[in-house]
Amino acid sequence: MHYTIEGSPMPVAICKLEPGETMITESGAMSWMTPNMRMETTSGGGIGKMLGRALSHESLFLNRYTAEHGSGEIAFASSFPGDIRAFEIDNGRDLIVQKSAFLASTQGIELSTFFQKKLGSGFFGGEGFIMQRLSGRGIAFVEFDGHIKEYELASGEQMIIDTGYLAAMTSTCQMDIQTVPGLKNMFFGGEGLFNTVITGPGKIWLQSMPVNQLASSIQPYIVTGNK
């Protein structure tokens, strides 16, 4: 499989497949393709994994696209202004990504649900509680919101992140949800009640415009009414 990622700020991943090669996608992710791409809808691993995807607000089913009778082409466009990144996943090199970040992958990639270890703080921490784990071996295409900043954290080095701005991290990182210290800070600081704390070693990808943050910013300017 060969690919290019084109366009900004609404990029698209265009994949050229050899005969018999297969891509896996979320439901509705395909943007265009050649006529010889055969589509098959699957559960992607049974009832358990379907329920896990439901918890992370993903579609219950996955689609498989296979090039038949020659090479084929298929494209996957971003659903929000930002960036599409291609990651090489291998044994021991799992990637943890935000909900709804997975776009498509080669067929060797496995999708599962990643839960923040401290259950109570995870529930109250919101977006940091449930994420996606990409494992197996192959190439995965992931979409992020806005500009992406990368950091390489040394062992024990930490980064404090406002909820929703963590786009992805390597599985070697540790994640915790912590309350903002001080009652005045919590209720009058305007930064919410919780922060995500990532501890290295590992790599993190931070996004500048989480879609939920954008929605909160424009909500006061949306006028609704019933006639």
pTM greater than 0.85 (yes/no): no
Domain assignment of residue 111, yes or no: yes
Rg of the chain over all Cα atoms, to the nearest angstrom? 19
- Note the pLDDT of residue 129: 64
- Note the pLDDT of residue 87: 97
- Note the pLDDT of residue 214: 75
Domain assignment of residue 143, yes or no: yes
Residue 97's nearest CA partner among 175, 212, 193, 160 is: 175
Residue 144's nearest CA partner among 112, 124, 169 is: 169
- Note the pLDDT of residue 118: 54
Domain assignment of residue 182, yes or no: yes
Domain assignment of residue 225, yes or no: no
Please tell me the total count of domains within the chain.
Answer: 1
Task: Bin 73: left if φ > 0, else alpha if -120 < ψ < 50, else beta.
Answer: beta
Domain assignment of residue 43, yes or no: yes
What pairing do the DSSP bridges indicate for beta strands 2-6 and 12-17? Answer: antiparallel
Domain assignment of residue 220, yes or no: no
Structural domain including 80 reads 2-210
10, 25, 80 from 207: Cα distances, Å: 15, 22, 12
Angstrom distance (rounded) from CA 177 to CA 207: 18
Angstrom distance (rounded) from CA 15 to CA 65: 11
What's the CATH code of the domain at 164? 3.60.160.10
List the pLDDT tens digit at each of the 227 positions of the chain: 999 999 988 999 999 999 999 999 988 889 999 999 999 998 765 555 555 555 555 566 889 999 999 999 999 999 889 999 999 999 889 999 998 899 999 999 998 888 765 544 444 444 446 889 999 999 999 999 999 999 999 999 999 998 789 999 999 999 888 876 655 444 544 455 678 899 999 999 999 988 777 777 787 787 665 54
- Note the pLDDT of residue 147: 93
Terminal-to-terminal C-alpha distance of the chain:
53
Which residues 6+ apart lie within 8 Å of 94 measured at CB? 133, 134, 135, 170, 171
Which residues 6+ apart lie within 8 Å of 145 measured at CB? 80, 81, 82, 167, 207, 208, 209, 210, 211, 214
Domain assignment of residue 135, yes or no: yes
Domain assignment of residue 215, yes or no: no
